[in-house]
Structure 1
Amino acid sequence: MIQETIVTSQNAEGLVHIAPMGIHIDGDRFIILPFRPSTTLDNILATGSAVLNYCDDVRVFAGCLTGRRDWPVQPAEKVQGSVLVGALAHTELVLDSVEDDATRPKLFCKAVYTVNHAPFQGFNRAQFSVLEAAILISRLQWLPPEKIATEIAYLKIGFEKTAGPRELEAWQWLMVVIDAHQGRSS
């Protein structure tokens, strides 16, 4: 199973890095697969820890992919790391082992602390659309323009029916990046 989360990590000096990532879950193991080069990879290898933040504010996902990484954090409880202030829940991880790879190493982690902060009220279709568009943004260099246009057109259907202020803001950030990639002005 893959869960879309926000991974917070920090370097040895305490500088926090926030990144959206699909985390693989296999039983009680959490597998983080960052592509090289990666600040998340460097930080986890340096400190042996990370925090998974379960968040329903899709602006964090879209923001991280469009240069907006300054989200409020607070210290983690059990590991060297930080928790997103707006997280509904978080899981603190320690690095257990590494399966090295030149392109995408596997970081096998175990949970040492999990806590819920607020109830999850469910996603609307606009939130789903923003998450999927954010994933597209992370793959723009590999996808043909027609695939991007087709996906965005489909995602807009649910987005336009259910978006609130947060989703509208996140979507706008993502569309600016897509338009710039495709050589259009927004």
Structure 2
Amino acid sequence: MILETIITSLSPDGTAYLAPMGVHAVNGEMLIMPYRPSRTLDNILATGHAVMNHTDDVRLFAGCLTGRRDWPVTATERVPGWRLACALSHAELELVSMEEHELRPKLHCRVVHEANHAPFRGFNRAQFAVLEAAILASRVGMLPWEKIAAELAYLRIGLEKTAGERENEAWSWLMEKFDAFRQGQVQETEIP
């Protein structure tokens, strides 16, 4: 199972680095597989820790992919680092082992602490649409534009039917990124 989450890792200067990431839950472990090069990868290897933040505010996913990484954080409880202040829940992770790979190493982590902060009330179709569009934005330059455009057209249907202010704002940030890519202003997405 892949969990769409925001990973916070500790940067060398002690600040939180935020990155949207699909984390694989496998046999009681959390498997983080960032693409190289990756600040998240570098940070986790340097500290041995990361935090999975679970949120229903899809602006964080869109924001991280469009240069908006300045979100309030609070100190973690058991590992050195930070968690999102708006997280509905979070899990503090410790790196257990790494499987080296040229493109996408596997970081095997164990959960050392979990906490719930607010109830999860479910996703609406607009939140799903933004999450899927954010994944597409992270693959700009890797996927053919025709595929991205077709998927965005379909996702827009759910967005238009169920979006609130947060979802519309997140969608607009992603559309700006896609427009910039189409105009040749963005070559590829920075890999978190």
TM-score (norm 2): 0.94
Q: Which residue of 2 aligns with 1:148?
A: 148
Q: Which residue of 2 aligns with 1:139?
A: 139
> How far apart are the structure 1 equivalents of 2:26 and 2:10?
24
Please state how far the C-alpha of 1:168 moved relative to its aligned partner.
Answer: 0.5
Alpha-carbon displacement from aligned partner over 1:94-130 (angstroms, at most 9, x marks no partner): 0000001111110000000001000000000000000
RMSD after superposition: 1.2
Q: Which residue of 2 aligns with 1:159?
A: 159
- AA at the equivalent of 1:50: A
- AA at the equivalent of 2:125: R
> How far apart are the structure 2 equivalents of 1:100 and 1:55?
30
Please state how far the C-alpha of 1:40 moved relative to its aligned partner.
Answer: 0.4
Please state how far the C-alpha of 1:184 moved relative to its aligned partner.
Answer: 8.7
Q: Which residue of 1 aligns with 2:101?
A: 101
Helix, strand or coil for the counterpart of 1:134? helix
Q: Which residue of 2 aligns with 1:73?
A: 73
Helix, strand or coil for the counterpart of 2:141? helix
> How far apart are the structure 2 equivalents of 1:79 and 1:50?
8
Structure 1 unaligned residues grouped into runs of 5+:
none
Please state how far the C-alpha of 1:176 moved relative to its aligned partner.
Answer: 0.5
TM-score (norm 1): 0.97
- AA at the equivalent of 1:82: W
Helix, strand or coil for the counterpart of 2:159? helix
Q: Which residue of 2 aligns with 1:112?
A: 112
Q: How does 1:2-81 map to 2 (within 5 A)?
A: 2-81=2-81
Q: Number of aligned pairs? A: 185
Deviates more, 1:49-58 or 1:3-12: 3-12
Please state how far the C-alpha of 1:144 moved relative to its aligned partner.
Answer: 1.2
Helix, strand or coil for the counterpart of 1:160? helix
Moved over 3 A (4+): none
Q: Percent identity?
A: 61
> How far apart are the structure 1 equivalents of 2:100 and 2:33?
10
Please state how far the C-alpha of 1:12 moved relative to its aligned partner.
Answer: 3.9
> How far apart are the structure 2 equivalents of 1:79 and 1:151?
39
Please state how far the C-alpha of 1:183 moved relative to its aligned partner.
Answer: 1.9
